[in-house]
Structure 1
């Protein structure tokens, strides 16, 4: 604003007056929203999403950290006699990179958390991660050349045939390839205690129940056996890898085979809904002809 003033000589001088207009403060809710805005998508914190091949390295590193103390993981890399701890860690990470990539191509990879805190690898009915094209594209073809003779024996001569034969024995020929196979489920240490594993399981359990199909997994921890029972998994048998040690008189690794029978059967298009629980519809990339969305039940 400008105002004219007399300077005493009969002439007028313009004087600039600055008028301050007070702007009312933003509401507290708006201020908090502005301060807390993040580029990390909101849905990543508490919703399950699928992982594509472009993200497989991040998901693999999370699984490698989750299984850094796992008996089976240690058994596989300890076959590399003479290798340093750093070399074993890099091999451990590479194995998970190949596995995650293979499931991006031939199965389903799901995750939850802003930094891939929880990751699950699935093989759904009709899917197969053993095709030669998947082996080439995922990089799994490199693994035999990275392993020593003992490492190859443990992985390809002992572990893989045992898992294949046991799954067929427990489920039977008809259901062997018609189940929801949870190959790996892990939560990195920084993401534990937030319910991520529960949501990853429930997301696929809703599909399996809707389709009337069983779920199958191998657990490498007695503690995890108790956890899986909360979701309806039942222990069927134990399988063992490695020689019995004289100190403990126990095999190096024990895996518990667990199966979850469907709680509700029905057509593939019917989704489950629970009274008193909120539901979130999560798009997941699945095999052709299967359900494109799943209802996740989130209880209190």
Structure 2
């Protein structure tokens, strides 16, 4: 029997439609799904396709890409909520209200600290000095008093071989239903221009666009917010 997913605040929403919580023992499988889904993503490549690593082979770049997502996935298993559907055909990383992964223990346990050594000099500047501060500051500025009281969809992706099955809809609605019950805002960044129209079907609206600017061309991120839907009486 499927177990309900637990959030730090509000009621528990039962898992449905094959959605289940990813355990720590399964983080590599979940990360591999996301790595395949974001293999050509401009933001995912932003820290890897850098001028001081032009000598790297595509295999070396893939290994680093997967490594980054393994760290991020494990951190969300520790402090957030990671859900999947099928045989890791789609995966979502969520940060629930009142939670973050910025503490020292999470950085240590997840392996995120290794990026100080695995990323190149330019990669580190892009990740730690540009990307992370931009995401943090934009979320705070966008949500204001709701920043620490919102659901944050950090990653969601489907393997290319599993697209078109409605997996992302099920993963998103599993949490947005809970957000509605709790009266919480839901927040995400979209790095693919094809995705905002899809997210709008679930009630998200684009509120601003920000840009990563250290590369040869700017990389855009659409900032989207979903207000909770009140149940009709």
Instruction: Calculate the TM-score normalised by the size of structure 2.
Output: 0.89
Corresponding residue number in structure 2 for 1:257: 223
Deviation at 1:46, TM superposition (A): 4.0
Which of 181, 188, 191 is matched with 2:159 structurally? 188
Q: CA deviation at 1:252?
A: 3.1
1:147 aligns with 2:113: no
CA distance in 1: counterparts of 2:215 and 2:159, whole angstroms = 30
Which residue in 2 is equivalent to 1:137? 109
Alignment of 1:73-152 (within 5 A): 73-79=44-50, 80-113=53-86, 115-152=87-124
Alignment size in residue pairs: 217
Residue in 2 aligned with 1:298?
Answer: none
What is the CA-CA distance between 1:243 and the residue it aligns to? 4.5
Higher relative CO (Cα under 8 Å, sequence separation at least 6) belongs to: 2
Q: How much has 1:66 moved relative to structure 2?
A: 0.3
The structural deviation recorded for 1:76 is 1.6
Q: Deviations over 1:21-53 (max 9, x none)?
A: xxxxxxxxxxxxxxxxxxxxxxx9941100111
Q: Is the 8 A contact 2:158 2:168 kept in 1?
A: yes
CA distance in 1, matches of 2:229, 2:143: 17
* Aligned mates of 1:48, 1:244 — CA distance in 2: 37
Q: Is the 8 A contact 1:71 1:252 kept in 2?
A: no
Structure 1, unaligned runs of 5 or more? 1-43, 246-250, 266-271, 273-300
- Aligned-residue Cα RMSD (Å) equals 1.8
Residue 82 of structure 1 deviates from its aligned partner by: 2.1
Q: Which protein shows a greater Rg?
A: 1
Picking from 106, 115, 129, the partner of 1:157 is 129
Partner of 1:227: 198
Match of 1:122, SS? strand
Q: Note the residue ranges of structure 2 that are not aligned, 5 or more in a row.
A: 1-14
